Amino acid sequence: MVDHSMQSSPRKSRRWLFGLLVLLVIAGLCWKFWPGSHKDGAEKPAGHAGKTGMMRPGFGGSAGPIPVRVAPAVLGEFPVYYKALGTVTALNTINVRSRVGGELVKIAFEEGQMVKAGDLLAEIDPRSYQNALLQAQGTLMQNQAQLKNAQVDVQRYRDLYAQDSIAKQTLDTAEALVLQYQGTVKTNQGAVDDAKLNLEFTKIRAPISGRVGLRQVDVGNLVAANDTTSLAVITQTQPISVAFTLPENTLETVLTRYHAGNKLPVEAWDRGDVKKQATGVLQSLDNQIDVTTGTLKFKARFDNKDQALFPNQFVNVHLLADTLHNVVLAPSAAIQFGNTGTFVYVLDGDKKVKMQPLVVGDSDGDNTVIKEGLKAGDRVVLEGTDRLKDGSEIEVVNDSSEVPTTPTEHLQGKPAAKGETGATAGKAQKVGS
């Protein structure tokens, strides 16, 4: 009888050896490709950012200067702009309607076309109005003939009365008849003029210069005098105005200059406040402040020669309220905000910085007016402020790409070369004092 236990032992041994071999292979691969390892067992290059190599002095608690980028405070002029949301408004908007009724036989404009005052827009069938004019002219001619005959009779009666051939009553009756016919002729002349005017109204013309909108009726439609449905709408776009509001706490400077006769420049920027579309001047202001919003309405006028502004368009308004002269300006990026207030890091010599408290004024995003705390020529830290404190040692660099983005990184764009140590890798060039 075969002993099965003796046959299974060699198989189990082979399986155990095979499993051990697989584990050894996996362990070798992990060691070879594990991040930070090296085939030859050599030490990793020093100064490699974000790894376990040596860091540049001055970071992560190591001693050494902190690289920063600086810029000087300067003396200059600062334009003070007030910004607001505005709505483009046409100076005139006309709903074109017919003054007479009839069939529309002609449309002489294209939708969206620019027209001048007096240009033909549409025409109503004129035949009935031509006939009415002929009738009025015929009646006028009849009464003019009767008036002429009555005037001849009066002259004849005057001669006879002078010869004492007729009674005074006959002459008076003839003169009254002349006056009656003169009144009738005037009435007939008014009817003729009215008929001519109605005939002229069959040609509908543009009352102002501007852009025509979409037409509301088509050829063949019957229109009535002063119909509720207009034939078209004309908006005057040259010049054009922009309505906007300013809060009451900013009015003093604007109103002082406006009442002094100064023309305050106004810029219209697109909705994203990225592109300037037009430049104009402040034209007028409202006569009272809105009590619900505490704002005052203004209007600025723009020539709009390039048609950049469109009625009912939303724009960002930049009103140049004033220009400050000979003020100290510092880059806004250098200004810091802390528990003690507003401050900057100012170079104290060439190797250290100090915290300098500030009193700031207006800002345009790029530069800020410094009322107190700085003078022209003071160098302030633009980049690298997150690593600084009062009295920190610094190293001024030329390029912002050389300022580390985190305390454990080397200067950006300056990777450690082979053989460099953490103290020399990526060292920036100094700016001359």
pLDDT at 35: 54
pLDDT tens digits for range 145-190? 999 999 998 898 888 888 888 888 988 898 899 999 999 999 999 9
Q: pTM here?
A: 0.62
**Domain of 198: which CATH number?**
2.40.50.100
Taking the C-alpha atoms of residue 308 and residue 276, their distance in angstroms, rounded to an integer, is: 10
Does an H or E element contain 380, and which?
Answer: strand 379-383
pLDDT at 163: 86
**Quick one: pLDDT band at residue 433, thresholds 50, 70, 90?**
very low
Does an H or E element contain 84, and which?
Answer: strand 74-90
Same domain assignment for residues 162 and 213: yes
pLDDT at 44: 39
Same domain assignment for residues 133 and 177: yes
On whether residue 421 sits in a domain, the answer given is no
On whether residue 155 sits in a domain, the answer given is yes
* Residue 370 domain boundaries: 326-396
pLDDT at 432: 34
In Å, how far from its chain's centre is CA 423? 52
Same domain assignment for residues 252 and 204: no
Whether the per-residue pLDDT at 1 is higher than 80: the answer is no
**Domain of 268: which CATH number?**
2.40.30.170
pLDDT tens digits for range 52-97? 333 444 444 445 788 989 999 999 999 999 999 999 999 999 999 9
Contact 88, 310 (CB under 8 A): yes
On whether residue 331 sits in a domain, the answer given is yes
pLDDT tens digits for range 218-230? 999 899 988 888 8
Single out the residue of 304, 289, 280 nearest to residue 245, CA to CA: 289
Contact 151, 174 (CB under 8 A): no
On whether residue 338 sits in a domain, the answer given is yes
On whether residue 148 sits in a domain, the answer given is yes
Cα–Cα distances (Å) from 233 to 93, 167, 302, in that order, read 7, 68, 21
**Domain of 368: which CATH number?**
2.40.420.20
Tally of domains in the chain: 3
